[in-house]
Amino acid sequence: MSTHAATKAPAVNFHGIWAIYRFEMARALRTLWQSLVTPVITTSLYFVVFGGAIGSKISTVGGVGYGSFIVPGLIMLSLLTQSISNASIGIYFPKFTGTVYELLSAPVSAMEMVIGYVGAAATKSIVLGLIILATASLFVPLSIVHPVAMLAFLVLTSITFSLLGFIIGVWANGFEQLNFIPALLITPLTFLGGAFYSIDMLPQPWRTVSLFNPVVYLVSGFRWAFFDKGDVSVGLSLGVTALFLVVCLAVISWIFKTGWRMKN
């Protein structure tokens, strides 16, 4: 064994990425109840309350039945919160238990670590989004005008918010902080981001204020993929999502360059 260890290691540690990805997926399967079933039940409840009880008083929004109208927003709400919580717990837990020593001492680059953790978190979110979509189709008629764009938004949003979750997991010094950003920032932004209404329905100045909420662009783009209409143009939606992705990547590369909250 001494002969080949003196040689240079391969440029990418695919085994390492796969190990982290599999570990994270196994963690989700162990806690299948929390990972998938709970969000589905929660979403179904939203659906019954907003779609059934309240929706019956609102006939259509922009020509789409209210029940169908809220489906993209509902999926987005779960996608954002679950991506963040999956990815943040994924990296926070090793820091908490001390097993992070192994990650830091392994021949795994920062980017490989991110691909493993964020890839697994995003995979779970995408599966979750599709399950919610299937659940919703049991309640209301659904047709997806741009299925490829719908999948693209699903994947892009899952990755972006898993990256954000990773950052939160690195930043957090306690379990309370893990819940802090999702509860105090993401959920309100999603509710106010047109998940359950079109921002056209808002009076001024709230309509303009809403345009500063990044989630508006996510929900709008996603809704466009379903119904071919959104609050803002699809190009703008895509642009804002991509911008957010780039910002998250920049923050993560800074974290690994400085070792912030990861290394002494």
- Residues that bind another protein in the complex, under the rule CB under 8 A: 1-2, 5-10, 13, 15-16, 18-20, 22-23, 26-27, 30, 97-99, 101-109, 259, 263-264
Residue 263 CB, nearest approach to another protein (Å): 6
Distance CA 184, CA 189 (A): 9
State in angstroms the smallest separation of the CB of 28 from another protein: 12
Decide: 200 and 209 in contact? Cβ < 8 Å.
no
Peptide bond between residue 188 and the one before it cis (omega within 30 degrees of 0): no
Beta partners for residue 61, in sequence order? 64
C-beta closer to another protein: residue 23 or 139: 23
Residue 173 C-beta: closest distance to another protein, Å = 15
Residue number, 26 or 45, with CB nearest to another protein = 26
70 or 255: CB nearest another protein: 255
Whole-angstrom distance, CA of residue 264 vs CA of residue 259: 7
Query: What is the spatial distance between Cα 70 and Cα 61, in angstroms, rounded to a whole number?
Result: 10
Nearer to another protein, 45 or 104 (CB): 104
55 burial via Cβ count (<10 Å: 0-12, 13-18, 19+) = buried
Rounded to the nearest whole angstrom, what is the least distance from the CB of residue 38 to another protein in the complex?
18
